[in-house]
Structure 1
Amino acid sequence: MFNLYSHGGSGNHGCEAIVRSTIKVLNDNSVNVFSHNVDQDIKYGIDDICNLQNDTPESIHHGSLKWFLGSMQNKLTGRIDLTVRYQRKSLFENIHTGDICLSVGGDNYCYAGVETLSAVNYALRKKHCKTVLWGCSVEPELLNDEQIKHDLSEFDLITARESITYQALKKINKNTHLIPDSAFTLDRIDLPLPNGWKENNTIGINASPLILSSGNNENSVMEAYRKLIVTIIENTDSTIALIPHVVWDNNDDRVVLKQLFDEFKDTGRLVLLGDYNCMQLKGYIARCRMFIGARTHATIAAYSSCVPTLVLGYSVKSRGIAKDIFGTDENYVISVQNMVNTNTLSDGFLWLLKNEKSLRAYLQSMMPDYINKAYASSALVKEL
């Protein structure tokens, strides 16, 4: 049995895209998907393509026996294995010896909370399951932590979605393979275009609260987006489509995009999209003339649809994916941490505009083979 875990919920349409495309690549609709937010997954129809299981962490009552045992282990060893087993009881009760378990968070090892991932993986291995780190990006400096390094070395299979992660992980786990993110294979659904959308002449923009907070100055990143919109208006006759890709309560792209829309709506050049599932969003992104995005899977939707794309990135995944596609991340990825000039995003767009035709032709020539490589992961998993 295949089990997908570390899935945060489909309100992040990148997470949704990973789940949908993983099931497509594995070609198996009997997959168990353990979700931290089942309601979101039902809303976007994930329950129609898999066995959806609840993996919302249970709270442990302060002062209870479970709390005491977990606290003692943490004080004596620094580990949180018992606490995690109590919190994730449903997960461990519904996974069985011999199962293949795919950690599908993608970039979970780029953020805080890695010790919880390690504890979950340890418990699954104690149940004699095969563990797979699926379509991952990992910040190389994390490998300086011995506990994380040991955890990663124990996976039965790792599929790294870009070469920076691959080069780092293959040194500690010989079962590491370089394979594009499964979301490159995601199907698209083309809904009717909204009023104001110009066919073949609409430029998509995605922004996120996360990208604002990742910069040295949140106001400067927002100002860079404002200047980008002004630059598009002054240098093209295109419509600008503001496209959200994550709608979590505490991390909702619509908050940032609505602010930008309100500031520029009087120009008559902007369209603000609502919330759709990841395949429908890909349908809109695929019909953009160009795309400027902050969310990784929004840009994957653009790349895989051969749309010339500029990425505003904050981690190894953006740089690595661009390098694998173009041979370099220069001109294709703008690092938000290093963005001190608020004209950087506008300048990046002008370069994209200048090279639009050649970029589209290049993507059209190489992307079919690149997407096809994503299917290689299925055979590797089934060999387990």
Structure 2
Amino acid sequence: MHKILLYPHGGSGNHGCEAIVRSTVLLLRPEQGVLFSSACEEDRRYELDGVVRVLPEQRAIRRCSAGYAGAWLRRHVLGVQDAFDRLAFGCIAEEGGPATVALCSGGDNYCYGEPVHIYLQNALLRRAGVPTVLWGCSLEREDMKGRMLEDLRAFDLIVARESLTCDALRECGCSRTVLYPDPAFALPVKEAALPEGWKEGNMVGVNVSPLIIRHEGRAGAVMENYARLVEYLLEATDMNVALIPHVVWPGNDDRKPLGELQERFGHTGRVVMIGDAPCEELKGYIARCRFLVAARTHASIAAYSTGVPTLVVGYSVKARGIARDLFGTEDGYVLPVQALDAPDDLRKAFVRMMEREDAMKSAYAEKIPAYRERLALLPGELSVLLKRS
């Protein structure tokens, strides 16, 4: 692979976004990788610039420039509504060229309303003749319509990360859709120093996010259920608890709800808070847990890929699809956050999951090596695409 462009990227403070970039570059091994980011300083803080060239997704527009004058005329004379956006985002297409493929880092970027700036970046790249790939995506079936469906059908290739999305895309006429595991299944583990209170081989990792709290069906249900779970672990088992954040963005920071649990239970000496760290280190902590309860998709992928039995508190197709592909069903492996009502719902689901500990490890032993073999085919898939272009 000569050159890949990765976009859009909101910043490595979401360690799932960071994991996708790191594992993609590891899998494809391009001669040159370029990441267009809306948070370049954040990416440098986690040393992602050691893996790819990190560039701002938008360039500054100087008023006293020919570009600004041209955009002004197109906007105010010709009525081109996004003329200034086209100028700002044009740097992405300018990086393209022969033997270049552009990976629109799908994840769930198409799951939160109309991603108009992604449509624009896609259009600019296509106009420049750069093959575009929707990379490792999950989408809700009901969103595949109108302008979004038109954009999806224009991709040269769509790589879905779970079968629910893959099947829905094909049903909607996106015939150039293939199924591969999320690239983060191939993310390496990096072990860091363990905090005081860590009980080797007998920790339950706990991850909760403001995002699932926003999807709860009853106000307060999520934190009430998580608190009951931690109470159960401390009173009825000999396991300790590791609170593991996976996103630390302002306004969407896992450390806030996890901090509430730490404040409530920290005095026991059996509950430890893991600090913010790059995704490979977070995966290292998760890999050393006995069980994980996760709200974030890439926290669960870190656990799945290292054989840690995991219960996901999910809200969308991505959690259901990834679990169904691994275990044959999402029932018992994903607890929909919207269904949390009684204070003990999460505790009961966790106990049922614990009873399947050996069966889950057997499923991992069968599936995860096959996932890695499948991911190893991705460079060939993209090479064929470049030859067709």
Asked whether the two chains share a fold, i.e. TM above 0.5, the reply is yes
Deviates more, 1:367-376 or 1:234-243: 367-376
Q: Aligned pair 1:358/2:363, yes or no?
A: no
Aligned residue for 1:100, secondary structure, equals strand
Pairing partner for 2:51 from 49, 52, 63: 49
The code of the aligned residue for 1:187 comes to P
| Residues in 2 aligned to 1:72 and 1:252: alpha-carbon distance in whole angstroms | 44
Q: Aligned pair 1:117/2:147, yes or no?
A: no
Cα shift at 1:342: 2.7
Matched residue, 1:158: 158
The code of the aligned residue for 2:44 comes to I
Matched residue, 1:35: 37
Aligned-pair Cα RMSD in Å: 2.0
| Residues in 1 aligned to 2:238 and 2:360: alpha-carbon distance in whole angstroms | 20
Aligned residue for 2:220, secondary structure, equals helix
Deviations 1:253-277 (A, max 9, x none): 1111111100111222100000110
| Residues in 1 aligned to 2:77 and 2:143: alpha-carbon distance in whole angstroms | 26
Matched residue, 1:179: 180
Deviations 1:216-252 (A, max 9, x none): 2341111111111112122211110000001111211
Cα shift at 1:33: 1.2
Evaluate the alpha carbon distance shift between residue 242 and residue 82 of structure 1 in structure 2; reply closer, same or farther with a 3 A threshold. same
Deviates more, 1:298-307 or 1:104-113: 104-113
Evaluate the alpha carbon distance shift between residue 103 and residue 90 of structure 1 in structure 2; reply closer, same or farther with a 3 A threshold. same
8 Å CA contact 2:326–2:363 kept in 1: the answer is no
| Residues in 1 aligned to 2:213 and 2:99: alpha-carbon distance in whole angstroms | 43
Deviates more, 1:323-332 or 1:260-269: 260-269
Deviations 1:107-131 (A, max 9, x none): 1011134222112111111111100
Pairing partner for 2:22 from 9, 20, 23: 20
* Structure 2: 5+ residue stretches without partners: none
Evaluate the alpha carbon distance shift between residue 29 and residue 128 of structure 1 in structure 2; reply closer, same or farther with a 3 A threshold. closer
Cα shift at 1:97: 6.0
Cα shift at 1:91: 2.2
Evaluate the alpha carbon distance shift between residue 2 and residue 236 of structure 1 in structure 2; reply closer, same or farther with a 3 A threshold. same
Cα shift at 1:337: 2.0
Aligned residue for 1:155, secondary structure, equals coil
Cα shift at 1:153: 0.5
| Residues in 2 aligned to 1:258 and 1:186: alpha-carbon distance in whole angstroms | 27
Deviates more, 1:223-232 or 1:363-372: 363-372
Write the mapping of 1:186-265 to structure 2, written as runs, cut at 5 A.
186-265=187-266
Deviates more, 1:203-212 or 1:167-176: 167-176
Evaluate the alpha carbon distance shift between residue 233 and residue 134 of structure 1 in structure 2; reply closer, same or farther with a 3 A threshold. same
8 Å CA contact 2:72–2:83 kept in 1: the answer is no
Evaluate the alpha carbon distance shift between residue 70 and residue 248 of structure 1 in structure 2; reply closer, same or farther with a 3 A threshold. farther
Matched residue, 2:87: 86
Deviations 1:72-128 (A, max 9, x none): 88xx79xx6534313323323333366310011411011134222112111111111
Cα shift at 1:59: 7.7
8 Å CA contact 1:36–1:57 kept in 2: the answer is no
| Residues in 2 aligned to 1:179 and 1:31: alpha-carbon distance in whole angstroms | 21
Deviations 1:301-357 (A, max 9, x none): 000000000001111100000000000000000111232233211111111121212
8 Å CA contact 1:227–1:343 kept in 2: the answer is yes
| Residues in 2 aligned to 1:252 and 1:68: alpha-carbon distance in whole angstroms | 42
Aligned residue for 1:329, secondary structure, equals coil
8 Å CA contact 1:85–1:92 kept in 2: the answer is no
Cα shift at 1:60: 9.8
8 Å CA contact 1:185–1:371 kept in 2: the answer is yes
Evaluate the alpha carbon distance shift between residue 57 and residue 247 of structure 1 in structure 2; reply closer, same or farther with a 3 A threshold. farther
8 Å CA contact 2:246–2:296 kept in 1: the answer is yes
* Structure 1: 5+ residue stretches without partners: none
8 Å CA contact 1:23–1:29 kept in 2: the answer is no
Number of residue-to-residue matches in the alignment = 377
| Residues in 1 aligned to 2:156 and 2:61: alpha-carbon distance in whole angstroms | 31
Evaluate the alpha carbon distance shift between residue 29 and residue 189 of structure 1 in structure 2; reply closer, same or farther with a 3 A threshold. farther
| Residues in 1 aligned to 2:76 and 2:112: alpha-carbon distance in whole angstroms | 24
Matched residue, 1:343: 344
The code of the aligned residue for 2:155 comes to F
| Residues in 2 aligned to 1:45 and 1:254: alpha-carbon distance in whole angstroms | 21
Aligned residue for 1:108, secondary structure, equals coil
Q: Aligned pair 1:330/2:358, yes or no?
A: no
Matched residue, 1:294: 295
Cα shift at 1:67: 6.5
Matched residue, 1:275: 276
Matched residue, 1:148: 148
Matched residue, 1:168: 168
The code of the aligned residue for 2:167 comes to Q
8 Å CA contact 1:3–1:33 kept in 2: the answer is yes
Matched residue, 1:99: 100
8 Å CA contact 1:84–1:120 kept in 2: the answer is no
8 Å CA contact 1:204–1:240 kept in 2: the answer is yes
Evaluate the alpha carbon distance shift between residue 50 and residue 347 of structure 1 in structure 2; reply closer, same or farther with a 3 A threshold. same
Cα shift at 1:361: 2.7
Cα shift at 1:11: 0.7
Aligned residue for 1:116, secondary structure, equals helix
Deviations 1:3-54 (A, max 9, x none): 1111111111000000000001102251111111111111111111122212
The code of the aligned residue for 1:338 comes to A
